[in-house]
A and B are shown apart, each in its own frame.
Chain A
Amino acid sequence: MAMMTYLEAIRKGIQEEMARDENVVIFGEDVGGVKGGVFGVTKGLAEEFGDDRCFNTPLTEGQIGGLAVGLGLVGFRAIGEFQFADYILPAVNQLISEASRMRYRTKGDWIAPIVYRAPYGGGVRGGLYHSQSTEKVLFGQPGLRIVTPSSPYDAKGLIKAAIRSDDPVLFYEHKRLYRLLKEDVTDEDYVVPLDKANVVREGEDITVIGYGMVLNHALKAAETLSKEGYEAEVVDVRSLYPLDKETLVKAARKTGKVLLVTEDNLEGSIMSEISAIIAEEALFDLDAPIKRLAGPDSPSMPYSIALEREFLVDEEKVTNAMRELAEF
């Protein structure tokens, strides 16, 4: 066991996989050399594995996207880092037109085993272009997996599973969680499945579904509500696409009261799809309308402290929404 942050857990997972398989390579803007990424996730990897396997790319996100596909075609397991999830947008063509469809359009003759890593999320005074939850842009693209860990344990196990997977995996890392979360993580070689949601807290009164920073707010809010006599079931979506419908629907049925929390905009987020699935599958088990808690429908998160706070879903907002639903 070793105490590690969410960021250190991701780095450890990558380091273990690079040591285990010489075909694993990692690259991106500032990823190589002594810097090891603007957040330091890849620090030390170039020194340990050489500049051929851990290297800098020019400032060209489309190229990062396609380079990873090309390496996958000839047997490598490429990890391409997008410096911010906001900067994935120039690469969307490569991710959708190439990575997501290579297997399908050749019926498995050619495959693209890739991990695209991207730090996402707000609350870091990042303004419109360093705060976004762009996962909804790539959501609903069959062939592509999207996952995000919400704890250090999951961070290490999920990145390892993503690297070993023969599918292209978009791996979102929440910037606020990088150094906020710290826990004991086993030294054992383990993986966390890429297609399973995770019930992180059991309860009988309401079900809260979320991922990332807001999931951690929900866990704290659940303790507050517990003192008030309400027990919340808290589910980490973890596999953002394809969704683990079975676990999500089961958790919704269990309490009959569902709160969906995201730090993305209210409309058009992944929670909209989860809401539709629960409505289709579990309507007659529900005791209250499905409730969404999200950011307002402004274009991302403004820079000013007042505006950023207004946008963000925080612990207080989650607590209030959970209490309201519990009392419904």
Chain B
Amino acid sequence: MRKLEESGLTKEEIIEAYRHVLLGRRLDERLWQLTRIGKTSFNISGQGHEVGQVAMAMAFQPEKDYFLPYYRDMTACMVWGMTAKDIMLGSLGKEDDPSSHGRQMPNHYGSKEHNIVSHSSTVSTQFPLATGVAYGAQLKKADYVTLTATGEGSANQGEVQEAMNFAGVKNLPLIFVIENNGYAISVGTDEQYANETMAERGPAYGFPGKRVNGNDFVETYLAFKEVVDNARNGGGPALIELMVTRLTSHSADDDHSVYRTKEDIDNLKKNDGLLFFEKQLIDEGYLTREQMTDIDSELKKQINQATDEAEAMPEPTADTILDQIYAEK
């Protein structure tokens, strides 16, 4: 693991990063609880992706950069500007849900205010869209960079190859991320791709590709910082393969004990980026265990408040079902 000070980030920024990581974990735990008791119908989890996602997102400038996420990117979306309440409004299907105003399933993130583009459920359709957003920067001569993400299973879709090919041809300011957690629902990587790494696909389309340990905050942050700065300066696209762990089942409708052995499931905890990050923060003198406990309590309060506030918000009314299909009714 690379030392936190090598990131070039301030102590405050690193503690802020930890707050984002822990908020992502605790909020996801709350969403599982709400699913189990029937208050929401579904959850799909990014547990085990949080450290990598926070390090990734911090290398961007969310006030102007665009993000086209996929369904495990809740934590990254919150670094980009969404709040715990925004997420909760979406999971509860409320009118004020900024992602879809109660029209999409949970975990389909979007926010016009924060430059986070809404996505579908047919995986990786966001990749061609990201090329359009990025080509827009070239047309406008604007210096924003676009980020789009998907999983290692979804990365086999044809639209991913089409988009990466186009990005190479046009040298777009666009960063592609494949969050590789080793499982596409129940199917392992040996049945998904034959290459050694997914990162190799970058050079195949004429731009760099790099595999990065998403449990290593500094390695991830610096890898992204390099390609984001390069893209912003006209250096073109890059692919990052972010190696992460899927700590949970694929979704609330899946049971990973069917296809993962007990030993495999027990071993997952040894690859939890949150634990690596916490150990590093303590060992390198950024936070004490007591301070972490305080942050945890504070975040739980924040999540309780977000849950209560979101639950109290109204549902969309039935008479709005035909609203906003076309520009003019």
Task: List residues of A whose CB falls within 8 A of some B CB.
Answer: 25, 52-53, 57-58, 60, 62-63, 65-76, 78, 90, 93-94, 97-98, 101-111, 142-143, 145, 165-167, 242
Contact: A109 with B118, CB < 8 Å? yes
**In the complex, chain A residues whose CB is within 8 Å of the CB of B127:** 66
Q: With A65-B128, A70-B130, A75-B136 known to touch, is A107 a contact of B158 (CB < 8 Å)? A: no
Once the chains bind, are B163 and A66 in contact (CB under 8 Å)?
yes
B122 CB contacts on chain A under 8 angstroms: 93, 97
Taking the closest CB of chain B, its distance from the CB of A86, in whole angstroms, is 18
Q: Which of B21-29, B100-108, B230-238 contacts A (4 or more CB under 8 A)?
A: B100-108
Question: Chain A residues near B99 (CB, 8 Å)?
Answer: 106
Beta-carbon contact of B103 and A73 below 8 Å: no
Nearest chain A residue, comparing its CB with the CB of B322:
A142
* Contact status of A106 and B132, CB under 8 A, knowing A57-B166, A67-B166, A93-B125: no
Q: Is the CB of A94 within 8 A of B125?
A: yes
Q: Assuming A71-B136, A75-B136, A78-B132, is B166 touching A106 (CB within 8 A)?
A: no
Q: Enumerate chain B residues within 8 angstroms of A76, measured Cβ to Cβ.
A: 132, 136, 139
Beta-carbon contact of B159 and A73 below 8 Å: no
Nearest A residue (CB) for B142? A74
Please name 14 further chain A to chain B contacts, defined as beta carbons within 8 Å, in addition to the given A70-B133, A70-B135, A104-B325, sorted by A numbering.
A58-B162, A60-B165, A63-B131, A66-B159, A70-B129, A74-B136, A94-B128, A98-B125, A102-B118, A106-B103, A106-B110, A108-B323, A142-B325, A143-B325
B158, chain A: closest CB distance, angstroms: 6
Residue B134, interface by CB 8 Å: yes
Q: Does B33 contact A (CB under 8 A)?
A: no
**Is the CB of B195 closer than 8 A to any CB of chain A?**
no
Chain A, Cβ-Cβ closest to B108: A105
CA distance A93 to B158 in the complex (A): 11
Chain A residues closer than 8 Å to B136, beta-carbon distance: 70-71, 73-76
B327 near A167 with CB under 8 A, answer: yes
Bound: A68/B133 CA distance, A: 9
Q: Which residues of B contact A74 (CB under 8 A)?
A: 66, 132-133, 136-137, 140
Q: State in angstroms the CA–CA spacing of A70 and B137 once bound together.
A: 11
B169 within 8 Å of A (CB atoms): yes
Q: Which of B219-274 contact A (CB under 8 A)?
A: none
Number of interface residues of B (CB under 8 A): 42
A86 to B158, CA, bound (A): 18
On chain A, the residues within 8 Å of B98 by CB distance are: 109
Would you call B120 an interface residue if the criterion is a C-beta within 8 Å of the partner chain's C-beta atoms? Answer: yes
Distance of B170 from chain A, by nearest CB (Å)? 9
A70 and B131 contact, Cβ closer than 8 Å, known pairs A60-B162, A93-B125, A109-B112:
yes
B121: chain A residues at CB < 8 Å are: 97
Known: A62-B162, A74-B136. A97 touches B125 (CB 8 A): yes
B-side contacts of A109, CB under 8 Å: 98, 101, 110, 112, 118
Contact between chains at B162 and A107 (CB < 8 Å): no
Instruction: Tell me the complex Cα distance, A117–B163, Å.
Output: 20
- Tell me the minimal C-beta distance from B190 to chain A in angstroms: 27
A165 adjacent to B117 (CB under 8 Å): no
- Once the chains are docked, how many angstroms separate the CA of A116 from the CA of B193? 34
Task: List A contacts of B325 (CB < 8 A).
Answer: 103-104, 142-143
Q: Smallest distance from the beta carbon of A7 to chain B beta carbons, Å?
A: 27
A-chain residues with CB within 8 Å of residue B302 when the two chains form the complex: none
B103 adjacent to A66 (CB under 8 Å) = no
* Min distance, Cβ A147 to any Cβ of chain B, angstroms: 13
B317 sits at the interface (CB 8 A)? no
Q: Which residues of A contact B133 (CB under 8 A)?
A: 70-71, 73-74
- Rounded to whole Å, the gap between the CB of B156 and the closest CB of chain A is 14
- Contact A106 B169, beta carbon cutoff 8 Å: no
- Give the distance in Å from the alpha carbon of A110 to the alpha carbon of B166 in the complex: 23
Q: Which of A65, A67, A71, A98 contacts B120 (CB 8 A)?
A: A98
Contact A67 B131 (CB under 8 A): yes
Known: A63-B162, A93-B125. A143 touches B131 (CB 8 A): no
State A70–B103 Cα separation when bound (angstroms): 21
Residue of A nearest to B120 (CB): A97
Give chain B residues whose Cβ lies under 8 Å from the Cβ of A166: 327
Does B138 belong to the interface (CB within 8 Å)? yes
A63, B162: Cα distance in complex, Å: 6
- With contacts A105-B100, A110-B118 taken as known, whether A67 is within 8 angstroms of B125 at the C-beta atoms is no
Residue of B nearest to A111 (CB): B327
Residues of A within 8 A of B10 (CB): none
Q: Which residues of B contact A65 (CB under 8 A)?
A: 128
Bound together, the chains give a CA A75 to CA B101 distance in angstroms of 22
- Set of chain B residues within 8 Å of A97, measured between Cβ atoms: 120-122, 125
B324–A69 touching, CB < 8 Å: no
Give bound CA distance, A65 to B98, whole Å: 25
Is B131 a contact of A66 with CB atoms below 8 Å? yes
Q: Which chain B residue shows the least CB distance to A71?
A: B132
- Which residues of A lie under 8 Å from residue B104 when comparing CB positions? 105
From residue A212, how far is it (CB to closest CB) to chain B in Å? 24
Q: Kindly state the separation between the CA atoms of A98 and B100 in the bound complex, as whole angstroms.
A: 13
| Chain A, residue nearest B164 (CB) | A63
Min CB distance A117 to B, Å, is: 17
Q: List 28 A-B contacts (CB under 8 A).
A: A25-B139, A52-B139, A53-B139, A60-B166, A62-B162, A67-B129, A69-B132, A70-B130, A70-B136, A71-B136, A71-B139, A72-B132, A74-B66, A76-B132, A78-B132, A93-B122, A97-B122, A97-B125, A98-B120, A101-B120, A105-B108, A105-B118, A106-B101, A107-B323, A110-B110, A110-B112, A143-B325, A242-B326
